[in-house]
Amino acid sequence: MALIHSFESSGNFLFRYRGQIPVVLFLLAIPTIFFTNYTWIEDQSWIYWLVLGLSVGLSFLGLVIRAIAIGTSNKNTSGRNTKEQVAEALNTKGIYSTMRHPLYVGNYFMWIGIVVYTMNIWFILLVSLAFWLYYERIMFAEERFLERKFGDQYLQWSLKVPAFIPSWKNYEKTDIPFSMKTILRREYSGVTATILGFLFVDFFRDWFSTGSITYHTYYGITLTIAIMISLVLRSLKHHTKLLYEADRS
């Protein structure tokens, strides 16, 4: 098999299973937290709050990037399809005029925020490298699909828009108005998973640092908020018309 076909085949395979990335990260985080020394936090608590603020900021940035991309997309572009590449229209304006893969950029920041919260520099570097290698294949397969489907229209756009690192040199305002309903309908699971991710790291760090499982009130509050976000928005999505919009995925 030619290398170009091998890359595309592996990219399509990884595309189908990209939803399992959070599970892998959570599993890898457990031994990482176990072998990380957190004794310095007791003497320099201000560093802990600094790292927490940075971590939350990175994850929030990822959520914002995804929200901008999804909130200005119509139903003819690729959505949450998991089995194969699907697209009936090409996004080239708005955030897509600054980078070709804003959703993947958003994913990186969402999850690297949680990874930074483990306070292990090697884990941060490892996840960043793994993320790039993983999504590089997915982006390659996706771009091959778009090139075959849209031909010269895609090529002309891709030649002037970077894949991952944004550039505003050729920014073009989108014609599609931002939709908060689309965000509430499609992104609640990501928000919930991010909240649970921070709680997950905090729980295991406290357990391994103290040697015992201790219940903190904010565990229950955070868990309740996360679950309620998902239950309420999922119910509104599947059982009401409140979040329905025509021409939106």
**Hey, what are 149's tokens?**
């489907």
Q: How many CB atoms lie within 10 A of CB 6?
A: 11
Contact 103, 69 (CB under 8 A): yes
Q: What is the CA radius of gyration of the chain?
A: 20
> What is the structure's pLDDT at 76?
58
Q: How far apart are CA 71 and CA 177, in angstroms?
A: 8
Top-confidence range, 35-49, 88-102, 200-214: 200-214
Contact 101, 164 (CB under 8 A): yes
pLDDT at residue 80 above 60? no
Top-confidence range, 15-29, 35-49, 117-131, 147-161: 117-131
pLDDT at residue 244 above 90? no
Confidence of residue 192 (pLDDT cuts 50, 70, 90): very high
pLDDT digits (tens, 9 = 90+) for 87-110: 557 888 899 999 999 999 999 999
Contact 230, 192 (CB under 8 A): yes
176-213: b or e for each residue (b if 16 or more CB lie within 10 Å)? beebeebbbbbbbebbbbbbbbbbbbbbbbbeebeeee
**Does the structural domain 3-177 have CATH classification 2.60.40?**
no
Domain ranges for the chain: 3-177
Residues 6+ apart with CB under 8 A from 177: 72
pLDDT at residue 140 above 70? yes
pLDDT digits (tens, 9 = 90+) for 44-60: 888 889 999 999 999 99
> What is the structure's pLDDT at 40?
80
* Displacement of CA 93 from its chain's centroid (Å): 21
> What is the structure's pLDDT at 77?
60
H or E segment and range at residue 38: none
pLDDT at residue 200 above 60? yes
> What is the structure's pLDDT at 4?
65
